[in-house]
C-alpha cells in the first residue's frame, strides 16, 4: 500500500516555511462604510468605529488560530475601508483628522497592524470635500499610528490630474516634516496611484472601493525566498523557458497555501472570501528578497543591465502560476520592488547599482511602482511632483497600476540612512535629479486621457 502522504512534499513545505520565509503576508478585511455617512463628523466617526469593532473583533484571534493549525505565519492583519473622503464628505465642516484618529483607535482596539482607506479618488478632479481632505492628510497621518492613506491621481481612461499631483507632493513633504523625529515615517504610510485597484490587500494603498461588497477577506501572499532558492538550485545554463516554468510552479504552490488560509479564515469569520493577491512581497530579512531573485537569475546586483527584463519575466510568470491556483485573483498581483523593505535592494542602492532612474524603468514592468524610496529631506516639492508625474505617465500609458511611496527624510541627505523599523525596514537616502521641474508641474490642469489604439 502506498502511504497516504508524500514525504518529499511535506519536507519541501516545511523547508519553504522554515528556511525560505514562506508566509501569508496579510489577511485584509475589506469593509464597506457606505452606511456610515451622516451630516455630523462625530456621528460618522462613531459609526465607523462601531462597524470596525463589529466586523473585525475576531480577525486577529481567528488568524492566529489558523496560523497555529498550519504552522504558516500570517504576518499582518489589516482592515481596508471605503475611501473616507467619500464617506465623510456630507458632514458639516468635516474634521477628517478626528475621523482618522477614531479609525486608529478602532484599529488598536481590534489589534490589527494597519487600517487603510484614508483615501480619495481624484483622477478627474476635486470636489470641495476632496480639497479639504488633502489639507488634512498630513495631520491625520502624523497623529495616528496604524492609519494608512492613499490617493488615486490618474487613470488610463481619464488622464492624470496634475493639480492633484502637485498637491500630493505637498502632502508628502508636510507629512514628512510633521514626523521628522522618526525619519519622516508618516510619508511611508501614504501612497499615490495611477489606476488604483479596488481590492488590494497591501498597504499603504488598501481601500474598499465603492463597487465592493459589504465585507470580504482578501489575502496577500508572499515568498520571494521560495522563488530565489528554487532558481539557485537550477543549473546556471538553464534557459529562460525553464526558469519561467519554475517560477510558475513556485507561484502556484505559494498561492494555493494562501487560498487555503484565506478560505479557512473567511469561513471562520463568516464573511465571503474576496481575492488573493499573489504578490511576491519582500521583507528586510535575508533570504526574503526580490533582489535576490535577480541575483539567482544571474545578475550581479539588482539594477544591473538586464534587471528590467528579469523583473518583467518574474512578474509575468508569478501571475501565470498563481492564477491557476485560485479562483479569484486580484489586487496588485506580481512582484513588489520596495527599496527599504528588501535587503538585496538596500544593498544595491547603497553601492550605487540601483538608482531612482533604474527603479522607474523597472516600475514599467513590476506590479506597482516606486516604493519605499528615501530621498533627501530638502528635495523641492516640485521635484517630488515631477517624480510622481513620471510614474503616473507609465501607469496611464501602459494601462497598469503604478504608485509612488517616497519619503523625503527631513534633515537627512545623501550618505545618510533612514530607519523605519519592522516590515518597513531601512533605506539609504537616494539621489534625485538636481534639475528643476517647477515650471512644468505648476502648469496644472489635467493631462488628457491617452489614445487606446495605434499602440506603439
Partner 1 sequence: MNSDNQIIITVTGKDKVGIVAKVSNCIAQNSVNIEDIKQTIMQDNFVMIMLCNISKMQISFKEFKENILQLANELGMEIWVQKKDIFDKMHNI
Q: Which residues of this protein are in contact with partner 1, per CB under 8 A?
A: 3-7, 9-14, 65, 68-72, 252-253, 256-257, 259-260, 324
Q: Nearest CA to 148 among 174, 185, 177?
A: 185
What is the smallest separation between the CB atom of 14 and partner 1, expressed in angstroms? Answer: 6
Could you tell me the smallest distance in angstroms from the CB atom of residue 71 to partner 1? 5
Cell numbers found for residue 308: 528590467
Return the number of the residue (249 or 446) whose C-beta is nearest partner 1. Answer: 249
In this complex, which beta carbon is closest to partner 1, that of residue 176 or of residue 254? 254
Choice between 193 and 252, CB closer to partner 1: 252
Taking alpha carbons only, the member of 270, 259, 383 closest to residue 325 is: 259
CB of 338 to partner 1, least distance (A): 26
**241-270 exposure pattern, b = at least 16 Cβ within 10 A, e = fewer:** eebbebbbebbbbbbbbbbbbbbbbbebbe
Query: Which residue, 5 or 435, has its beta carbon nearer to partner 1?
Result: 5
Q: Minimum distance between the CB of residue 251 and partner 1, rounded to whole angstroms?
A: 12
- Greatest alpha-carbon pair distance for the chain in Å reads 77
CB of 69 to partner 1, least distance (A): 5
Q: Backbone phi, then psi, for 371, in 5-degree steps?
A: -135, 130
Candidates 287, 315, 334, 297; CA nearest to 20 is 287
Minimal distance, residue 252 CB to partner 1, in Å = 8
**Cβ proximity to partner 1, 227 vs 311, nearer residue:** 227
DSSP string, 384-405: HHHHHHHHHHHHHHHTS-EEEE
- Residue whose grid cell is 523641492: 380
Of 6 and 436, nearer to partner 1 (C-beta) is 6
Cα–Cα distance, 92 to 405 (Å, whole number): 31
CB of 3 to partner 1, least distance (A): 5
Q: Which is nearer to partner 1, 72 or 389 (CB)?
A: 72
Between 6 and 108, whose beta carbon lies closer to partner 1? 6
**Whose Cβ is closer to partner 1: residue 169's or residue 219's?**
219
- Closest distance of CB 254 from partner 1, Å: 8
Q: How far is the CB of 256 from partner 1 (least distance, A)?
A: 4
- Cell numbers at 375, concatenated: 530621498
Q: How far is the CB of 48 from partner 1 (least distance, A)?
A: 33
What does each C-alpha distance from 191 to 39, 194, 301, 316, 356 come to in angstroms?
Answer: 28, 10, 27, 24, 17
Q: Pick the closer one to partner 1 by CB: 256 or 355.
A: 256
Using N-to-C axis directions, what is the helix angle for 240-269 and 59-70, rounded to 10°?
Answer: 130
Q: Show the CA angle centred on residue 418, arms to residues 375 and 424, nearest 5°.
A: 100
Mapped to the 3 state alphabet, what secondary structure does 301-326 carry?
A: CCCCCCHHHHHHHHHHHHHHHHHCCC
Q: Which of 117, 430, 169, 153 is nearest to 177 (CA)?
A: 169
Among 56, 104, 80, which Cα is nearest to 275's? 80
Separation CA 49–CA 109 (nearest Å) = 10
- Are 22 and 75 a contacting pair, CB within 8 Å? no
Amino acid at each position: 500500500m502506498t502511504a497516504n502522504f508524500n514525504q518529499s512534499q511535506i519536507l519541501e513545505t516545511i523547508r519553504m516555511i522554515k528556511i525560505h520565509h514562506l508566509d501569508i503576508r496579510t489577511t485584509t478585511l475589506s469593509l464597506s462604510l457606505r452606511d456610515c455617512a451622516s451630516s455630523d463628523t462625530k456621528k460618522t466617526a462613531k459609526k465607523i468605529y462601531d462597524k470596525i469593532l463589529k466586523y473585525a473583533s475576531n480577525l486577529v484571534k481567528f488568524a492566529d488560530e489558523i496560523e497555529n493549525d498550519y504552522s504558516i505565519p500570517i504576518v499582518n492583519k489589516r482592515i481596508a475601508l471605503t475611501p473616507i473622503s467619500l464617506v465623510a464628505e456630507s458632514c458639516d465642516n468635516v474634521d477628517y483628522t478626528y475621523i482618522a484618529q477614531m479609525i486608529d483607535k478602532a484599529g488598536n482596539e481590534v489589534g490589527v497592524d494597519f487600517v487603510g482607506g484614508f483615501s480619495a479618488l481624484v483622477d478627474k478632479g476635486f470636489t470641495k470635500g476632496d480639497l479639504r481632505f488633502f489639507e488634512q492628510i498630513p495631520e491625520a497621518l502624523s497623529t495616528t499610528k496604524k492609519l494608512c492613506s492613499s490617493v488615486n491621481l490618474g487613470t488610463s481612461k481619464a488622464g492624470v490630474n496634475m493639480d492633484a499631483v502637485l498637491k500630493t507632493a505637498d502632502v508628502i513633504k508636510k507629512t514628512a516634516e510633521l514626523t521628522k523625529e522618526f525619519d519622516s515615517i508618516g510619508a511611508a504610510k501614504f501612497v499615490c496611484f495611477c489606476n488604483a485597484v479596488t481590492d488590494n490587500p497591501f498597504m499603504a494603498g488598501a481601500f474598499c472601493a465603492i463597487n465592493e461588497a459589504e465585507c470580504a477577506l482578501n489575502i496577500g501572499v508572499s515568498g520571494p525566498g521560495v522563488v530565489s532558492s528554487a532558481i539557485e538550485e537550477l543549473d546556471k545554463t538553464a534557459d529562460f523557458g525553464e526558469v519561467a516554468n519554475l517560477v510558475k510552479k513556485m507561484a502556484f504552490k505559494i498561492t494555493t497555501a494562501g487560498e487555503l488560509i484565506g478560505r479557512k479564515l473567511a469561513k471562520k469569520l463568516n464573511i465571503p472570501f474576496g481575492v488573493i493577491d499573489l504578490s511576491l512581497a519582500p521583507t528586510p530579512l535575508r533570504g526574503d528578497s526580490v533582489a535576490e531573485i535577480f541575483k539567482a537569475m544571474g545578475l550581479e546586483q539588482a539594477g544591473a543591465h538586464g534587471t528590467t527584463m528579469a523583473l518583467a519575466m518574474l512578474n509575468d510568470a508569478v501571475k501565470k502560476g498563481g492564477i491557476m491556483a485560485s479562483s479569484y485573483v486580484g489586487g496588485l498581483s506580481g512582484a513588489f520592488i520596495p527599496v527599504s523593505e528588501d535587503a538585496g535592494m538596500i544593498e544595491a542602492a547603497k553601492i550605487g547599482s540601483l538608482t531612482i532612474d533604474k527603479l522607474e524603468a523597472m516600475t514599467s514592468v513590476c506590479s506597482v511602482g516606486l516604493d519605499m524610496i528615501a530621498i533627501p529631506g530638502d528635495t523641492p516639492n516640485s521635484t517630488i511632483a515631477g517624480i510622481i508625474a513620471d510614474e503616473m505617465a507609465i501607469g496611464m500609458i501602459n494601462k497598469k497600476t503604478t504608485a509612488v511611496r517616497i519619503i523625503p527624510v527631513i534633515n537627512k541627505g545623501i550618505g545618510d540612512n533612514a530607519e523605519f523599523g519592522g516590515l518597513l525596514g531601512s533605506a539609504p537616502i537616494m539621489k534625485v535629479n538636481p534639475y528643476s521641474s517647477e515650471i512644468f508641474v505648476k502648469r496644472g490642469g489635467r493631462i488628457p486621457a491617452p489614445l487606446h489604439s495605434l499602440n506603439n
